[in-house]
Structure 1
Amino acid sequence: MNSQNRIIKIHPKDNVLVALLDLKKGESVTYNSRKYRIQDDIAAKHKFATKLLAKGDIVYMYGVVVGKAKKTILEGEVISTTNLEHDTEKYSAEGLTNKIKWEAPDTSNFIGKTFNGYHRPDGKVGTENNWLIIPLVFCQNRNVEVLKDTLVEKLGYGRHQHLKFDIDSLIDDYKNGASIETLLNRDIIKPQNRYHKNPLFPNIDCIHFLTHEGGCGGATSDAIALCHLLAGYINNPNVAGATILSLGCQHAQASILQSALNKMSPDHKKPVYIIEQQQSKSEQELLAEAVKRTFTGLIEANKTERKPAHLNKLVIGLECGGSDGFSGISANPTLGYVSDLIVGLGGSTVLSEFPELNGVEQELINRCVSKEKAKKFSKIMSTYNEKADALGAGFYANPSPGNIKDGLITDAIKSAGAAKKGGTSPVEDVLDYTEQVTAPGLNLLCTPGNDVESTTGLAGSGCNVILFTTGLGTPTGNPITPVVKVSSNSKLFKNMPDIIDFNTGTIIEGTSTIEQTGEDLLNFVIEVASGKLTKAKQLRQDDFIPWKRGMSL
């Protein structure tokens, strides 16, 4: 591999280069006929300066401001937290002209392709067919767990892959005086039970039990947001119906949930059974009623079968977590290309995690189809950042230790790469948390950067598939929406085969292009939308955390 293949410049405006492989202090590398002498050992994924930068000079990457020098940075010197601090460009929606010219990528390879989904009366199509059992308040969590113990095994909805460990062998070894070393070297992993279709209700993918810690005792606004989120889950096309447990006196009233659901879908025909404990004769009566209602609801839900659907029925969430210095070069641009393909085919995509759009606000504002949408985005971003800053952790505090270790030194660097998931298409709509996706095209959805809170929000706004990029690895999944885990590098794909679905590391290695990889990923999405289990689904990684809009990045 020559030096040209060991480093990359992402945008002509950039004054940093990215190391694709480890670079040693003192060696010389060449990019576009320009030779650079490396001043430090530089790990792959990290960056070095292409010229001398004085204290206060602006650093550009992806063509945008990602920080400013805290002190003099030499040409060839590694960019780190010791010499770079967070900085971004100012943004405004005032001068927007809305003259957007965009040409979709070539979609000819997907014209006429379909996925097999569950068609709903409102015209939406689910990629799964699930039943939900939800508490409106945390004091119903125990009753939900009782229902889980009662229903899951009897109805055949155990784990898709049930991990089993040979604890008996450890006990026997210990009783026989085995050493700690012997115990640690003992292989206790037993074969796993593979997923199989439920023989009683073969058209129902799963029953999900969404326990949470909200509904009462906190801010009323959080209880209202929770009701809207739960209504969004019921409204999601991947859900056939729901059983709701209510205490009766909590802030998260059943009437708020019903009103939210009716607003989201006035003509929804999904069965929703709300059972209130304070109106029941006993807890046993409450649970018996819930069991019977759920069982009869499953009978109706099982009548819906998978049928072909056009790709414009896909609503794809775009998410990242555990990102690294390659995420913005391989995995995120691949999602961006998939997003552009889906938009070109008439479908919808949703870019979330507003703290990770910090620094690229103007670029997204310029892509909004109307000044109204641009102003809404600008207002949500500024309000969110100001509130977080007042609590001592503005957007600048977003990168995690893992992000920084793998090259994402500032939130602006992280955000500039994260925004690549949104491709290049116009922004058709801007949604606040729990607002529903109704417009085809690219949507912006306000969620925090927290992986699970964000994926929870994406599903709650109507996504029927979520694409999730990662460079460090994360098991994150969602109960009702399949989450496709996409690695930014081949090492991760090889090291975590039980949680990663798709690899884009070949882009870094130079053996594939973003366009080729994007088409391969969309073909994989079609399989998932037709019933192929993602790794998170196989492991039943059913993460669900409602966002309390206090302080969460």
Structure 2
Amino acid sequence: MKQTILKIHPGDNVWVALQDIPAGAGVHCDGVTVTAIRKVEAKHKIAAQELPKDSPVIMYGVLVGLANDTIPAGELITTQNIRHASGSFAVKGERHNQWTVPDISPWENRHFDGYHRTDGRVGTGNYWVIIPLVFCENRNVQLLHEILVKELGYRKQHSYETMLQQLLQDFRSGKDSSNIADSSNGEGIVLQGRTFANIDGIKLLTHTMGCGGTKQDARTLCGLLAGYITHPNVAGATVLSLGCQNAQIDMLKEEIEKRVPGFDRTVVFLEQQQLGSEKALMTQAIHQTFDGLTKANTQQRQPAPLSKLCIGMECGGSDGFSGISANPAVGRVADMLVALGGSVILSEFPELCGVEQELSDRCINTDLAGRYLQLMRDYASRAEAVGSGFDSNPSAGNIRDGLITDAIKSAGAAKKGGSSPVTDVIDYPGWVQHPGLALLCTPGSDVESTTAEVGAGANVVLFTTGLGTPTGNPVTPVIKLSTNSKLAAKMQDIIDLDTGTIISGDASIDDVAANILELVIATASGQYSTKAQQLGQDDFIPWKRGVSL
């Protein structure tokens, strides 16, 4: 018989429904039986005991809310009967760096095939990026990208184009088109072979920044763009500048030098106001980019240890199962990779609300702990200054699927970071410089956060979702993990691996983590193309350092 209810932590006073519980049904856990007062849908929470008014609601062993009124045992937990609350936190002298190192013996001598860079990092891909230094150049970079993709064999004819062609043909001939449907997988077909076999793609990083904001906005943008230009997955770059904007070429070069002193990959810098006409700009851009591509194409994949992996941990469209299936599974992968000498990034600071004390205690020294807590306080203060707060983080979809307060969402989201010590705390748009687990300050918005993680050096991203999101990235593969099997079956075109087998009891967290790590290795070696890559889901949104939850 499948388990109906789950008590996540011994100290919890609410339970998670693993299946729909009808009104009047009795549920049992740890020798305690309560009767469901109303229907409790799977993913939602039920009070395990009477909760008096203003009493703490405990889940994952931490404070996640307060009761608005007395909640009887067996009552459904809702936005009406509890409110957001989280525990206090402070830097403590005692460090909690002890952790249980997982068994990594099956992977100790494994490798992936990647692109070795002279700075010592290894790419899981080999992309050329085309970047506007200011939004005024978006049209020019789009034109350059369109020409290169088409003529160098990266252009795909989408199956939907074929559908439209048939609709046009039937329209012109007067036929009924109501029954035309696309029977393909939506991926499309490449129209011709690639000219450069070792260049995985030519990617476009358009944005709406570079001028019109503060000088700090310009510096931050240049830092992020430098993170992409120096990224181990990037073979080279073409940067188009207008000339009069705040984000200057020299500023970008400074940020590149900070990250990789003596950076030696090809970067084409062109300024329109200096060259004059669009024709002059585009002619130089095409010639110099083509020359750079021919050089970058000489690189080939070579074996690399798993310690060269840097994995970003991300979630989006989370549900009430995220914190007990996909997130703990990728957290186990995080611990395995740290034990192997690799790097892990945990971001989305608004979704770490309520677990600040645990994470600060895991920092390897009090300086890092203080830096993390100060970033959290500053972020929360900026949100409160505009009449919001971390309590506004859960989306309508989160709430509908059981994440009632930000602290409930956060306690589950933090599971993606595993249990290893925190070796670094990075402010945006910083970058990973040490092995181990790093905390990166980003918004909870999944595309802004994924964009930042890749800018910080993630060469693979593990993305958990309970509701379904197509998010991808231009240069780093994003592996999508469903928290429940229903989603995996419904949205097969965006989900790479189902962790819902943990909920059903058909697989353990360790089993699923092993499968995820194997998929990471295959993806990093170019043997597996993620669903986001197949769909061409190249999402890139810089965070303009303001309040984004």
Partner of 2:396 in structure 1? 401
2:244 to 238, 246, 249: 249
Report the 3-state secondary structure (helix = DSSP H, G, I; strand = E; otherwise coil) of the residue aligned with 1:308.
strand
The aligned counterpart of 2:164 is 167
* Residue 100 of structure 1: how far off its partner (Å): 2.1
Alpha-carbon distance between aligned partners in 1 of 2:18 and 2:504, rounded to the nearest angstrom: 8
Residue-by-residue CA offset, 1:37-81 (whole Å, 9 max, x unaligned): 111111000001011111100000000000000111110000000
Aligned mates of 1:29, 1:183 — CA distance in 2: 53
Q: SS at the partner of 1:549?
A: coil
Is 1:236–2:234 an aligned residue pair? Answer: no
Correspondence list, 1:447-526, <5 A = 447-526=442-521
Counterpart check, 1:54 vs 2:52: yes
2:274 is aligned with 1:279: yes
- Residue 40 of structure 1 corresponds to 38
Aligned twin of 1:127: 124
The answer as to 2:73 corresponding to 1:79 is: no
1:370 aligns with 2:365: yes
Q: Which amino acid aligns with 1:58?
A: P
Q: Is the 8 A contact 1:69 1:84 kept in 2?
A: yes
1:163 deviates by 4.0
Which residue of structure 1 aligns with residue 87 of structure 2?
A: 89
8 Å Cα contact 1:487-1:500 kept in structure 2:
yes
Cα distance in structure 2, aligned partners of 1:124 and 1:197: 32
* SS state at 1:131 partner: strand
CA contact (8 A) 2:104 2:339 kept: yes
Question: 2:97 & 2:208 partners in 1: Cα distance?
Answer: 44
Contact map agreement 2:485 2:501 (CA 8 A) in 1: yes
Match of 2:64 in 1: 66
Q: Which moved more, 1:157-166 or 1:355-364?
A: 157-166
Q: What is the one-letter code of the residue matched to 2:289? A: T
**Contact 1:477–1:543, Cα closer than 8 Å, also in 2:** yes
State the distance in 2 between where 1:99 and 1:61 align. 21
Q: Contact 1:122–1:267 at 8 Å: present in 2 too?
A: no
2:156–2:191 Cα contact (<8 Å) kept: no
Report what 2:154 is aligned to. 157
2:191 and 2:328 map into 1 onto residues whose CA distance is: 35
Q: Within 2, Cα distance between the matches of 1:141 and 1:195?
A: 25
Structure 1 distance, partners of 2:350, 2:165, is 48
Contact 2:448 2:540 in 1 (8 A): yes
In the comparison of the two structures, how many residue pairs are matched?
547
Specify the code of the residue in structure 2 equivalent to 1:111.
E
Q: 1:246 to 1:86 in 2, by over 3 A?
A: same
Whether 2:137 is the aligned partner of 1:140: answer yes
Q: CA deviation at 1:197?
A: 9.3
Tell whether 2:415 aligns with 1:420: yes
* CA pair 171-200 structure 1, distance change in 2 beyond 3 A: closer
The structure 2 residue matched to 1:187, chosen from 164, 173, 181, is 181
Counterparts of 1:160 and 1:74, CA distance in 2: 59
2:458 counterpart SS class: coil
Matched, 1:268 2:263: yes
2:530 to 530, 534, 543: 534
- How far off its partner does 1:146 sit? 1.2
Per-residue deviation, 1:317: 0.1
Checking the alignment, whether the CA contact within 8 Å between 1:166 and 1:190 is kept in structure 2 is no
Displacement after TM superposition at 1:345 (Å): 0.2
Indicate the SS of the match to 1:164. helix
Does structure 1 retain, via aligned residues, the 8 Å contact 2:159–2:184?
A: no
Cα gap change, 1:162 to 1:185, in 2 (>3 Å)? closer
**1:292 lines up with 2:287 in the alignment:** yes
Q: Which moved more, 1:423-432 or 1:263-272?
A: 263-272
TM-score by length of 2: 0.97
Q: Determine if contact 1:46/1:78 at 8 Å carries over to the other structure.
A: yes
Q: Relative to structure 1, is the Cα distance of residues 349 and 519 closer, same or farther in structure 2, using a 3 angstrom cutoff?
A: same
1:160–1:537 CA contact under 8 A, matched in 2: no
Residue 111 of structure 1: CA displacement? 1.2
CA contact (8 A) 1:115 1:311 kept: yes
Matches within 5 A, 1:202-221: 202-221=197-216
Q: Deviations over 1:251-287 (max 9, x none)?
A: 0111111001101111221111110011103110111
Where does residue 353 of structure 2 map in the other structure?
A: 358
Residue 307 of structure 2 corresponds to residue 309 of structure 1? no
Are residues 1:546 and 2:536 paired?
Answer: no
- Distance in 2, matches of 1:551 and 1:25, equals 41
Moved over 6 A (4+): 175-178
Contact 1:367 1:427 in 2 (8 A): yes
Where does structure 1 lack aligned partners over 5 or more consecutive residues?
none
Amino acid in the other structure paired with 2:329: T
Moved more, 157-166 or 261-270: 157-166
In the alignment, residue 34 of structure 1 is paired with which amino acid?
V
Query: How many angstroms does 1:240 deviate by?
Result: 1.0
Offset at residue 160 of structure 1 (A): 8.7
Deviation at 1:386, TM superposition (A): 0.5
| Deviates further, 164-173 or 462-471 | 164-173
Change (3 A) 1:466 1:160: farther
Instruction: Give the partner amino acid of 1:545.
Output: I
Deviates more, 1:95-104 or 1:332-341: 95-104
Which residue number corresponds to residue 316 of structure 2?
321
Matches of 1:160 and 1:273, distance apart in 2: 29
Maintained 8 Å contact 2:154/2:190: no
Question: What is the distance in 2 between the residues matched to 1:351 and 1:306?
Answer: 28
Distance in 2 separating the partners of 1:196 and 1:150: 14
Given the superposition, is the C-alpha separation of residues 357 and 190 from structure 1 closer, same or farther in structure 2, using an over 3 Å criterion?
Answer: closer
3-state SS of the aligned residue for 2:283? helix
Shift of 1:186: 2.9
Looking at structure 1, the residues matched to 48 and 129 of structure 2 have their Cα atoms a distance apart, in angstroms, of 54
Report the alpha carbon displacement of residue 134 of structure 1 after superposing the two structures with TM. Answer: 0.3
Structure 2, unmatched stretches of 5+, are: none
Maintained 8 Å contact 1:244/1:273: yes
Is contact 2:160-2:182 (8 Å) kept?
A: no
Deviation at 1:235, TM superposition (A): 1.2
| Aligned-pair Cα RMSD in Å | 1.6
Q: Quick one: structure 1 residues 98 and 34, their matched pair in 2 at CA, closer, same or farther if it must change by over 3 Å?
A: closer
Identity of aligned residues (%): 53
Pairing 1:222–2:220 present:
no
Inter-CA distance 198–343: structure 2 relative to 1 (3 Å threshold) = farther
> Is the contact made by 1:159 and 1:539 (CA closer than 8 Å) also made in structure 2?
no
| TM-score calculated relative to the size of structure 1 | 0.96
CA deviations on 1:356-410 (whole Å, 9 max, x unpaired) are 0000000000100011100100010000010011112211000000000000000
2:11 aligned with 1:13, yes or no? yes
Q: Kindly provide the amino acid, as one letter, of the partner of residue 540 in structure 1.
A: G
